[in-house]
Amino acid sequence: MNSIQRDFYQQLGQVQRFQELFEHLPGIYFFVKDAESRMMGASPGILARFGLSHEDDIIGTSDYDYFPQHIAAKFVEDDQQVMQTGTALIGRVEIWYTEQRLLDWFITNKHPIRDEQQRIVGVMGTVRSYEGSRRSFQTYTQIDKVVEHIRERHASRLTVTDLARIADLSPRQLHRKFLEFFGMNVQEFLSRTRIQAASDALLKTDAPIADIALRYGFCDQSAFTQQFKKHAGITPHKFRKINAQQPKPVP
């Protein structure tokens, strides 16, 4: 920070609500957390998502108060990575649900917050919906139909060859496009979409795990368990047991 910039900020004399800049941008949410990943501020969109009426209601809470444990743990892990390394996390693709409870992807950016001594004291970030992001990135023009197809038919039998044909690309080109924007290949994207949908079914229903596996596109319970453990770190049975009493996102 140079002297002109420092003098300007010293004139402010109070906490400035820079997050107000994001309040009228559709599909973009803003949050601030302290070093322990506790919420210190959030834009109205996040408050509405959590069913809160005032920003004071979110102060001091954490992702664990709003999301299933496995989702919250990943958010906090990313927070701590940013704060420990001092390196911003840009364009992280995460899957979650909209306020209408529709499966969707969100693009997250996180930056470290530093005090006057340049010590990292927290993290701030934005979350942007897939629908908002798709209008801003040319990459989507070729893979948008594929993403929509996966979102709508992830429980069906889908092959990379079939998906590539939808985009009028070769399988190799499709993989490259997905890696360019999502940081994962198309098969991984499909698998994560299925796992997240199955996670919701594990939490909201008492259906047998074998039935859920078949319902969401896995050939059998063993394949489902293997993929689920790869993404969530635990088996579907343990996930259901641990999260039975966890708070659910507010619809």
Q: What is the pLDDT of residues 172-220, one digit of tens each?
A: 999 988 887 777 788 888 888 888 888 888 888 899 999 999 999 898 9
Residues of the chain with CATH 3.30.450.20: 3-133
pTM, rounded to two decimals: 0.61
Per-residue pLDDT tens over the stretch 89-136: 987 777 655 554 444 667 889 999 988 788 999 999 998 876 555 545
Mean pLDDT throughout 5-28? 65
Reply yes or no on whether the pLDDT at 86 is more than 60.
Answer: yes
The residue type of 171 is P
Mean pLDDT throughout 225-249? 77
Q: Which CATH number fits domain 3-133: 1.10.630.10, 2.40.160.10, 3.30.420.590, 3.30.450.20?
A: 3.30.450.20
Percent residues over pLDDT 70 in the chain? 77
Q: What is the mean pLDDT of the chain?
A: 81
Using pLDDT thresholds of 50, 70 and 90, give the confidence band for residue 152.
confident
Residues of the chain with CATH 1.10.10.60: 137-245
Q: Where are the alpha helices (DSSP H) in the chain?
A: 3-12, 44-49, 69-85, 130-134, 140-153, 160-167, 171-182, 186-204, 209-215, 221-232, 236-242
Reply yes or no on whether the pLDDT at 138 is more than 80.
Answer: no
In eight-state DSSP terms, residue 155 is: T
pLDDT of residue 161: 93
The helix (run of H) or strand (run of E) holding residue 28 is strand 28-34
Using pLDDT thresholds of 50, 70 and 90, give the confidence band for residue 1.
low
Q: How far apart are CA 139 and CA 93, in angstroms?
A: 14
Say which CATH architecture domain 137-245 belongs to: Orthogonal Bundle (1.10)
Q: How far apart are CA 196 and CA 221, in angstroms?
A: 16
